[in-house]
Amino acid sequence: MTDNEGYTMERPTKPNYRRRQLGRTLRKLREAAGLSQEDAGRPLRFSTSKMSRIEQGYIPGYNDFLALLDRYGAVRSHDGLHGNFLIASFPDPSEPDLAYVSYGFGALQVEKDAEVRAARLMFDNLARLPLDQKESHTFIAEIQDGPRGDRGLA
């Protein structure tokens, strides 16, 4: 089967409950953003049929999923050297926030409140760490020159 963009797609078996629930949540986020399926999908080059499939629970790949969450303003992401993680917050209080961590050989999604709070604290700590351009150059030079002392980045 091919979609409107010409990509070959293997339609998985009927989405399970969690995927259907996630699709409904994505629809609620789109509607809360005041977007039609066409308006939400256009800048991402998603057809309305692809948007419909997503909202039925046929969840797209990781990058497309992140692009949708970003389009709806529901995600904070931190890109790392060997992986990244994101915190997704949903406007509906019945939908739990979640943390999604990807790394070199897999991924982990957590929804327990305590674990999401811990991930949010880690995210906020990492967000405070970025160096300005001069500090970045100095840091890179120190790494190239060999072992460095403690820079208080723990």
Q: 1-73: which CATH number, 1.10.1040.20, 1.10.260.40, 3.40.50.10260, 2.60.120.260?
A: 1.10.260.40
Average per-residue pLDDT for the chain: 80
pLDDT in tens, 15-30: 888 888 889 989 998 9
Q: What pLDDT, on the 0 to 100 scale, is given for residue 59?
A: 86
Q: What pLDDT, on the 0 to 100 scale, is given for residue 42?
A: 96
More confident residue, 127 or 41: 41
Domain ranges within the chain, ordered by starting residue: 1-73, 75-134
pLDDT in tens, 55-74: 999 988 888 888 898 899 88
CA distances from 72 to 21, 68, 91, 101, 134 (A): 17, 6, 11, 20, 34
Q: Is the dihedral of CA 129, 88, 55, 11 positive or negative?
A: positive
More confident residue, 100 or 139: 100
Phi, psi of 43 (to 5 degrees): -70, -15
> What are the tokens at 111?
């929804």
